[in-house]
A and B are shown apart, each in its own frame.
Chain A
Amino acid sequence: MAALIGVLALQGAFREHAAALARCQATVREIRTLADLDGLQGLVLPGGESTVMGRLLQEEGLLQPLASLCATGVPVLATCAGMILLAKDLPGFSAQPRLGLMDISVRRNAFGRQKESFTTRLPVREFSHGADDLIESVFIRAPLVTSCGAGVSVLASVNDHPVAVRQDNMLALAFHPELTQDTRFHAWLVRRAQALSR
């Protein structure tokens, strides 16, 4: 049975994630309302504008139900704005509605404005293997992690600042694998979802 993965589809690059998941043989459901959470085995929090998603999540009454879903241990892949939604601490924007499930402090637009957006190739622990195996990483007005708790492992950094972190079932990336052909993060999500439901 293909794993059923939900992609939060209130705003942002959900279509790109759906395409990457489909390449990993997952069944994809777009999440817009409470009813869409039923039976999900994995979750993607996509890139977009975190202020917009936070506001719509709150209006739709989805914050608590999504947090409960994550607490059951289903795997979560969060990219860019998704990382912001997961951050427990968001200095300067502490009132911004979000899930706040990950023990990380995140700085929004940490690299600057759009003209400072960049692509680089990074080693990512648990995902890339050896010095020659680098993962194409697209940073668009991206956030970064300024500090993280003991339960969080840092998988990749730029200028010593974490940009890929994992806490148990939740993987948060400051960059956009869904804009590249590299599906290994999506494959991780699908694998974990399948393992969990077995």
Chain B
Amino acid sequence: METGTFVIKSGLAQMLKGGVIMDVTTPEQATIAQEAGACAVMALERVPADIRAAGGVARMADPAIVTAIMKAVSIPVMAKVRIGHVTEARILESLGVDYIDESEVLTPADDRYHINKKDFTVPFVCGARNLGEALRRIAEGACMIRTKGEPGTGNVVEAVRHCRLVLGEIAALRALPEEEVPTFAKDIAAPLELVLETRRLGRLPVVNFAAGGIATPADAAFMMELGCDGIFVGSGIFKSSDPARRARAIVAAVSHYRDYKLLAEVSTGLGEAMPGLDISALSPEQRMQERGC
């Protein structure tokens, strides 16, 4: 009997495809998310919009919050650790969380190195803005990738940019003559072996979700149309005026992302979306996506 292998860790992400993973901060929110059809929840102390507003150092959530949420729902529970913070990750693993997000939404604990995720039984998801970042995270043991986007902004533009960049680089890689592949790997600072595997598969070797700024059913369906495997919604649900309804609408939108009549229906009368932020209004230090590349 084997546990913690790549097949088992990346396999859970494969089961989450076509689904919506929702940020929650209380057991009540977790229950609302599960009832609405979330395929997993991300247990947090604060959603990204509040982390942004609070400033200071953002860390792993209080284990009491994480365990209360794990007790409240039967779907997988994820939680975030700071980039490079091996001990926060070991703590979450000991709690039994189902997936760890080594996340730029929290303040990085190591400005140079990420966690060696291969050492863990629990699987990890990491953010990436381009193919090089994605493959470096996979080389470290990440079994699921998501776009970074710009968290807590309600602005989808960065998630779109990162998604198009990754898929565009994969398309370019596939078109390269064989002899140019090693130099391509060197240029994007990714291991040749993973570059070759990506070229052979025509996609990332692990599941690839969209995250960072998704606020509406149309945003979610758009990210699926671009080729993402599923969606993380952070602040977008519980910072809106009718979270349960918006959550149900986003779940339906991801499942039926090309059924435009249905998208019109579920988008109707949803109330206020979360307040949005223009990316250009953020100073470079306020941009979470620059963390950990």
Tell me the smallest distance from the CB of B283 to a CB of chain A, in Å. Answer: 38
Q: Which of A113-136 contact B (CB under 8 A)?
A: 113-120
Given A55-B37, A114-B122, are A49 and B16 also a contact pair (CB < 8 Å)?
Answer: yes
Q: How far is the CA of A49 from the CA of B14 in the complex (A)?
A: 11
A31 and B85 alpha carbons, distance in the complex (Å):
42
Chain A residues, CB < 8 A from B26: none
- Please determine whether A48 and B17 come into contact, CB atoms closer than 8 angstroms: yes
Provide the residues of chain A in CB contact with B18, threshold 8 Å: 9-12, 14, 48
A187 at the interface (CB under 8 A from B): no
Q: Does A51 contact B (CB under 8 A)?
A: yes
CB-CB contacts of A62-85 with B at 8 A, as 1s and 0s?
000000000000000000110000
Q: Is the CB of A52 within 8 A of B1?
A: no
Task: Provide the residues of chain B in CB contact with A32, threshold 8 Å.
Answer: 255-256, 259
Q: In the complex, A114 Cα to B1 Cα: how many Å?
A: 15
Q: Which interface residue of B4, B17, B75, B121 has the most chain A CB atoms within 10 A?
A: B17
In the complex formed, the residue of A with least CB distance to B73 is A51
A160 within 8 A of partner (CB): no
Instruction: Say whether B8 contacts A13, CB under 8 Å.
Output: no
B14 — which chain A residues lie within 8 A by C-beta? 13, 16, 47, 179
A118: B residues at CB distance < 8 A: 1-3, 8
Q: Which stretch from B57-65, B93-101, B131-139, B157-165 is at the chain A interface?
A: B93-101
- B40 located at the interface, meaning its Cβ lies under 8 Å from any Cβ of chain A in the complex: yes
Tell me the bound Cα distance from A16 to B277 in angstroms. 38
Asked if A117 meets B252 with Cβ closer than 8 Å, knowing A15-B17, A48-B18, A108-B74, the reply is no
Query: Contact between B39 and A176 (Cβ–Cβ < 8 Å)?
Result: no
Residue of A81, A140, A180 with most partner-chain B CB within 10 A: A140
A13–B3 CA distance with the chains assembled, in angstroms: 20
Residue contact A11 to B19, C-beta cutoff 8 Å? yes
A119 to B8, CA, bound (A): 7
A55 to B252, CA, bound (A): 10
Tell me what chain A mostly uses at the interface: helix, strand, loop, or mixed: loop
Closest to B18 in A: A11
- Determine if A109 is an interface residue (Cβ-Cβ < 8 Å): yes
Decide if B79 is an interface residue (CB 8 Å cutoff): no
Given known A-B contacts A49-B16, A49-B19, A118-B3, A140 and B93 have beta carbons under 8 A apart: no
In the assembled complex, A59 has its CB within 8 A of some CB on chain B = yes
Mask of B83-125 contacts with A, CB within 8 angstroms, 1/0: 0000000000100111100000000000000000000011100
With the chains together, A104 CA to B93 CA distance in Å?
33
B255 and A11 within 8 A (CB): yes
A contact residues around B254 at 8 Å (CB): 11
B270 interface contact, C-beta 8 A? no
Least CB distance, A53 to chain B, in whole angstroms? 9
List A contacts of B7 (CB < 8 A).
119, 138, 179-180
B227 within 8 A of A: no
Looking at A33, A47, A51, which has the most chain B CB atoms within 10 Å of its CB? Answer: A51
Kindly supply a per-residue 1/0 record for chain B positions 1-32, scoring 1 wherever the CB is within 8 Å of any chain A CB and 0 otherwise: 11111011001101111110000000000000
Point out the residue from A33, A56, A114, A120 that lies within 8 Å of B98, measured CB to CB. Answer: A114
Closest Cβ of chain B to A147, distance in Å, is 20
Chain B residue with Cβ nearest A116: B3
Whole-angstrom CA separation of A156 from B256 in the bound complex: 36
Q: Judge if A141 is at the interface, Cβ distance under 8 Å.
A: yes
Contact between B15 and A81, CB atoms less than 8 A apart: yes
Contact for A113 among B11, B38, B98, CB less than 8 A = B98
- Which A residue's beta carbon lies closest to that of B93? A115
CA distance A15 to B255 in the complex (A): 13
Q: With A51-B37, A52-B39 as given contacts, are A141 and B255 in contact (CB-CB < 8 Å)?
A: no
Asked whether, in the complex, the Cβ of A56 is within 8 Å of the Cβ of B252, the reply is: yes
Report the nearest A residue to B34, measured CB to CB: A51
| CB neighbours of A179 from chain B (8 A) | 7, 11, 14
B121: nearest residue on chain A (CB-CB)?
Answer: A115
| 6 pairs from A and B in contact (CB 8 Å cutoff) | A11-B17, A48-B17, A48-B19, A56-B255, A120-B1, A141-B98
Given contacts A16-B14, A114-B122, A119-B1, 9 further A-B contacts (CB under 8 A): A32-B255, A33-B259, A48-B17, A52-B39, A56-B37, A108-B74, A117-B8, A119-B2, A140-B15
